[in-house]
Amino acid sequence: MKTNRIEAFSDGVMAIIITIMVLELKAPHDPTPTSLVKMWPVFFAYVLSFVIIAIYWVNHHYLIHLVSHVDATILWANINLLFWISLLPWVTVYLGDNHALPFPVALYAAVSAAGGLSFFLLRASIARHHHHEPDFLRLYKKMLRKNLIAIFIYMVAMALAFIYTPLALMLIATPAAMYFLPERGLGFFVNGRSS
């Protein structure tokens, strides 16, 4: 199986996931600004998930772009990643509808951690075939650090949700923000090849 096929399917799935979340944004029956403001956890979760899926999409493309062919392990590592991303709309609703209570926040963090871990596994399955290519290795190391930090933050947020939920929410938003900060040679697209 060629790379462009797995890319097109993953693109399709991620485009749908990022879009269908809006179907779960229920409009309040009371058409007033105050009833909208009360929905802040719903909007917080929506914006956060939108940004997270966009980041997955950018990174996924960048990773797959380095690969020339796909074996069964990569294929299923990719489907595993899509599975966990597909659960994001659901935990987004769960978080928003329950007004950011401890357990839904922890579940959101857990699914995010599983997504981060799946991305790690996908990269590892690709690295098996490309460990001798300097281009891939350089990107691999850059991505690896951010990936591991993100998984770690999500796992801390998961535990913290039951202790102090607002901080856990802030932690959950951290990995997404991390990708916007310009870093010296660390940004996944801030280098010579992508611009």
Residues that bind a second copy (CB under 8 A): 1, 5, 8-9, 11-25, 27, 31-33, 36, 47, 50-51, 54, 57-58, 61-62, 69-72, 75-76, 79, 82-83, 86-87, 89-90, 93-94, 97-98, 101, 103-104, 107, 180, 187, 189-190, 194-195
Smallest gap from residue 153 Cβ to a second copy (A):
21
SS3 per-residue string spanning the chain: CEHHHHHHHHHHHHHHHHHHHHHHCCCCCCCCHHHHHCCHHHHHHHHHHHHHHHHHHHHHHHHHCCCCECCHHHHHHHHHHHHHHHCHHHHHHHHHHCCCCHHHHHHHHHHHHHHHHHHHHHHHHHHHHHCCCHHHHHHHHHHHHHHHHHHHHHHHHHHHCCCCHHHHHHHHHHHHHHCCCCCCCCCCCCCCCCC
In this complex, which beta carbon is closest to a second copy, that of residue 89 or of residue 175?
89
Smallest gap from residue 73 Cβ to a second copy (A):
9
In this complex, which beta carbon is closest to a second copy, that of residue 47 or of residue 167?
47
In this complex, which beta carbon is closest to a second copy, that of residue 22 or of residue 159?
22
CA distance 111 to 107: 6
In this complex, which beta carbon is closest to a second copy, that of residue 74 or of residue 153?
74
Smallest gap from residue 112 Cβ to a second copy (A):
15
Our CA angle for 58, 60, 62, nearest 5°, is 70
In this complex, which beta carbon is closest to a second copy, that of residue 138 or of residue 152?
138
Smallest gap from residue 25 Cβ to a second copy (A):
5
In this complex, which beta carbon is closest to a second copy, that of residue 12 or of residue 145?
12
Smallest gap from residue 9 Cβ to a second copy (A):
6
Task: Determine contact, residues 110/156, Cβ cutoff 8 Å.
Answer: no
**The residue type at 188:** F
Smallest gap from residue 6 Cβ to a second copy (A):
9
